[in-house]
Amino acid sequence: MANHPESHRLERWVHKTLLAGLIVSALLLAPGLTLAFSRDQPRPEGRPPSSASLIRGAFEGDGAAMLYLGLLALMATPVLRVVALALGWGLEGERRFSAVALAVLGMLALGLVIGVG
| Structure letter (DSSP) for residue 12 | H
Does 106 have pLDDT greater than 90? yes
| Separation between Cα atoms, residue 10 and residue 106, nearest integer Å | 21
- Return the pLDDT at 51: 86
- What does the DSSP 8-state code read for residue 43? P
- Which of the 8 DSSP states describes residue 96? H
Residue 31 is part of which domain span? 5-116
* Mean predicted confidence (pLDDT) in 69-80: 94
The reported pLDDT for the residue numbered 107 is 95
Contact 66, 32 (CB under 8 A): yes
Mean pLDDT estimate for the chain: 89
| Span 110-115, average pLDDT | 89
Q: In the structure, what pLDDT confidence band is assigned to residue 5 with cuts at 50, 70 and 90? A: low
Question: Based on the structure, what is the number of domains in the chain?
Answer: 1
- Res 19: pLDDT: 95
Give the pTM: 0.80
Question: CA-CA distance, 55 to 49, in Å (whole number)?
Answer: 10
Instruction: Give the pLDDT confidence of 10-41 residue by residue, as tens digits.
Output: 899 999 999 999 999 999 999 999 998 898 87
Cα(8)–Cα(23) distance, rounded to whole angstroms? 22
**pLDDT tens digits, 50-62:** 889 999 989 998 9
Distance CA 78, CA 93 (A): 22
